[in-house]
Amino acid sequence: MIDTARVVADASSLDELLGVLADEPRYALDTEFHRERTYHPKVALVQFAWPGGIALVDPLAVDIRPLATLFRGPGLAVIHAAQQDLDVLTRACGAVPSRLFDTQLAAGFLGHATPSLGNLLSAELGVKLPKADRLSDWLRRPLSAGQEEYAAADVAHLLELHDRLVVQLESLGRLAWAEAECEELRVRPTGPGDPYDAWLKLKDVRTLRGRSRGVARAVAAWRERRAAELDLPVRFVLPDLAVLGIAQRPPTTTEELRQTRGVEERHARGSTANELLAAVREGLTHPVDLPETNGEELDRQLRPAVTLVSAWVSQLARDQRIDTALLATRADLVDLLRGDPDARLSHGWRAATVGEDIRHLVEGEAALAFDGRGGLRLLKLA
């Protein structure tokens, strides 16, 4: 049974909550938000749990920027799948917790592959979360009793889950690994990124050739900036089809723009048309190439090694009960093999667990052989 949560909907109640949480060494944290019809995520609820209770902070009723004071304090925030929460909190409060434990990330060091909170609680604590409406409108007020129960459940068991995961991680000597990954996640840049990189997200971007790439880059950057300014999803500003159509046959007049596939009448008149044509001219004068893929960045003679080593890393991850994506991604392997000094496999626990062995393989000091049971075995050569 979930403890009854109190709703915090005024400044004095928020101040009282912050006073309580400031004295807690750790607290559970989660957010509910929407971004379907906006460019920036719109926070709809912030949930907290601590040994003394559960609180649901309503950002539609109270200014939540004072949460930054709590986040800058020494308390440990326990969150499940924190990346999007950190994005939301950065925009809403201007701060993220100074210390973080991500239960989803930590569970990856115990053999769970990116588990949902429901699956992880069921596996580790035998707890079943209340069924949720996937399309629940968290911006609707008042919240229903079911919504409040679901929101409270998202934080109610996180501290107990944290305790259980820490015990298991310590027994395997992996707590420091998990804490290092949580810190890397905590300080990772948030937000939409450079507008001039937005074109790389286009589905058919690799079909573009020559000057079309520069046009796609400039037009997609314009769309990104415009969407941020209006706080609208980029597809509401200009659909992908129009970006690609403009790039493939760059228009020079409003009439040519109007005839481009995917371009609507509203795009081909007034300031919007002028800005789009200016972006086209910018793109034509600034050609650009697609960034090389990881495989293309690697010396041709070493490319087969990526496939072979990937198979061994996947087996090692299964044997040691670590999520493969945590141990080493394909990009991590390529970075190491091409000698990148900042390769993640060159430092910390990854270097000791897998990085050094890969170096021995590439340098001919070790070999991989089948173990007779369908697996691979690393052999050090004399």
**What's residue 372's pLDDT?**
84
Q: What pLDDT score does 2 carry?
A: 54
On whether the CB atoms of residues 309 and 290 are closer than 8 A, the answer is no
Ramachandran angles phi, psi of 120, nearest 5°: -70, -45
Burial class (CB in 10 A: 0-12, 13-18, 19+), 334: buried
Q: 């200009």: which residue's tokens?
A: 238
Domain range 294-380, CATH class? mainly alpha
Q: What is the pLDDT along the chain (382 residues), one digit of tens a residue?
A: 456 899 999 999 999 999 999 999 999 999 999 988 999 999 999 999 999 999 999 999 999 999 999 999 999 999 999 999 999 999 999 999 999 999 999 999 999 998 999 999 999 999 999 876 667 899 999 999 999 999 999 999 999 999 999 999 999 999 999 999 999 999 998 888 899 999 999 998 989 998 999 999 999 999 999 999 999 999 999 999 999 999 999 999 999 999 999 999 999 999 999 999 999 999 999 999 988 665 556 777 778 888 889 999 999 999 999 999 999 999 999 999 888 899 999 999 999 999 999 999 888 899 988 888 878 888 988 6
Instruction: Name the superfamily (CATH) of residues 6-186.
Output: Ribonuclease H-like superfamily/Ribonuclease H (3.30.420.10)
List, for residues 346-373, the tens digit of each pLDDT value.
999 999 999 999 999 888 899 988 888 8
Superfamily for domain range 195-285: HRDC domain (1.10.150.80)
- Sequence ranges of the chain with CATH classification 1.10.150.80: 195-285, 294-380
- CA distance linking residue 336 with residue 17, whole number of Å: 47
Q: Which residues of 321-331 are buried (b: 16+ CB within 10 A; e: fewer)?
A: ebbbebbbbbe
Q: Where in the chain is the domain with CATH 3.30.420.10?
A: 6-186
